[in-house]
Structure 1
């Protein structure tokens, strides 16, 4: 094999190697970008999970308070009925 052909072969191999390295570098950058995006999504997901838990707790507390208010309203209504019946009975006796 002549020296010229050997040099051409080496130059071709070096070019192919350089292109392969460039593709590898591009792939590594793309992978790094995807990993960063994935990490941001993980952080966002964790934040949403915590927010959901907080909102669920808040909803439970609000539902319990609404039930207490509803129970109180029923008790007030019952007492008003008793008071009106008492007033009515007293007025009937006064007639």
Structure 2
């Protein structure tokens, strides 16, 4: 093998090595980007889970309040009917 062939082989090997290192460097950068994106997604997911829990609690409270209001409205309606019947009964006796 001549010195030129050896030098050409060495240059080709160096070029392949440099390309491989550049691909490895790009892969490391891409992995870092994907890891940061994954971490942001994890943080966003946790925030959404906490928000969902808070909203579920608020919904439960609002539902309980709505039931109490509905029960109160039903009770008031029943009492009004009783009062109207009493007034009718009193008026009927007065005639």
TM-score by length of 2: 0.96
Give the gaps of 5 or more residues in structure 2.
Answer: none
1:42 Cα deviation from its structure 2 partner: 0.7
CA distance in 2, matches of 1:9, 1:74: 95
1:91 Cα deviation from its structure 2 partner: 0.7
For the pair 1:71 / 2:50, whether they are aligned, the reply is no
Give the gaps of 5 or more residues in structure 1.
Answer: none
Q: Which residue of 1 aligns with 2:56?
A: 56
1:7 Cα deviation from its structure 2 partner: 1.4
Q: Which residue of 1 aligns with 2:3?
A: 3
TM-score by length of 1: 0.96
Provide runs of 4+ in structure 1 moved above 6 Å.
none
Aligned residues, how many? 95
User: What is the RMSD computed on CA atoms of the aligned residues?
Assistant: 0.8
CA distance in 1, matches of 2:68, 2:88: 30
